[in-house]
Amino acid sequence: MQKLIFTVSILFSSSFFSFAQNKTSIHLLLGNPGSAKTEINSENNFLIIKEQYALSYNKSKNIPNWVSWHVDINDLGKAKRKNSFRPNTKLPLGWYRVRPNDYTGSGFDKGHLCPSADRTNNEKNNSATFLMTNIIPQAPHKNRGVWKEFEEYCRRVVKRGNELYIIAGGYGRGGTGSKGFLKKIRNNIVVPKQTWKIIIILPYGEDDLKRIDGNTRIIAIDIPNSENVDGKSWREYKITLAELEERTGYNFYDNISPDAKRVLLTRMDKR
């Protein structure tokens, strides 16, 4: 399937870190929340574009602000989960590179934002989801329960003949893991207070930006990063896009038409 895509030219130059490359990403087609930039002086809103997803990284928190990705049936296959958690060695020199063992004994899971199971068409794409720049500390019952259930729901929607544009992230400080409340874990990795996700659902087709209108289905959720959500449904945490923008401070989907955005801001999913 051919897609209209958003092209970003990346150019770094400093005494510590330099490279130049061109990247093309469908994952930013609908917008770039907070206008993340591929510049070292944008260290707390640092844009990283990969083939599998795009993200805004926060150096001061050692976690992503958000991760954005597109998923359709071509991304789903039979590749096995790699479990290859590892530091992102492409971060600028001098930046701390989070390691998997930073989470050991913390009471928090290494929680994916772009899920491993959204990238099962081949081992390379699956492995890319295990970079620690795609990971935030998540309370185990929340990560393995309500959060996982919503991830599985999204893939069922894809298998029904749809493609999704997804953004997920966290905000605030302090969550309750299996060992109690913490604001940070090892090496000053911030534990978000809340975790959120938005999906825009489109039937398979072309010219996705032009197809998004006031009738497009959108789901936004905002879930406490806590063991106390165990056993609850993700549907209990649905909110409007306008509410999520107010809570996070982001302007989501700034590339879609203003008329469509105006309607989608207050649309509450009823299914």
Q: Who contacts 58 (Cβ-Cβ below 8 Å, separation ≥6)? A: 43, 44, 45, 46, 64, 65, 190
Residue 221 resides in a domain: yes
Q: Over pLDDT 70: what percentage of the chain?
A: 91
Average pLDDT over residues 17-39: 76
3-state secondary structure of 262: helix
Is 116 a member of any domain? yes
Q: CATH number of the domain that 213 lies in?
A: 3.40.570.10
pLDDT tens, residue by residue, 97-128: 999 999 999 999 999 999 999 999 999 999 99
Cβ atoms of residues 187 and 166 within 8 Å: no
Q: Of 27, 70, 112, 141, which is the active-site residue?
A: 112
Is position 260 within any domain? Answer: yes
Structural domain for 230, as ranges: 6-264
Banded pLDDT at 230 (limits 50, 70, 90): confident
Alpha-carbon gap, residue 71 to 201, rounded angstroms: 10
270 located within any domain: no
Q: Is the pLDDT of residue 131 over 90?
A: yes
* Inter-residue contact 204 to 161 (CB < 8 Å): yes
For the segment 145-195, what is each residue's pLDDT rounded down to a tens digit?
A: 999 999 999 999 999 999 999 999 999 999 999 999 999 999 999 999 999
Residue 1 covered by a domain? no
Asked if residue 271 is part of any domain, the answer here is no
> Is residue 269 in some structural domain?
no
112 tagged catalytic: yes
- The answer as to whether 97 is a domain residue is yes
Q: How many domains does the chain have?
A: 1
Whole-number pLDDT of residue 1: 42
Among the listed residues 246, 224, 248, the one whose alpha carbon sits nearest the alpha carbon of residue 236: 224
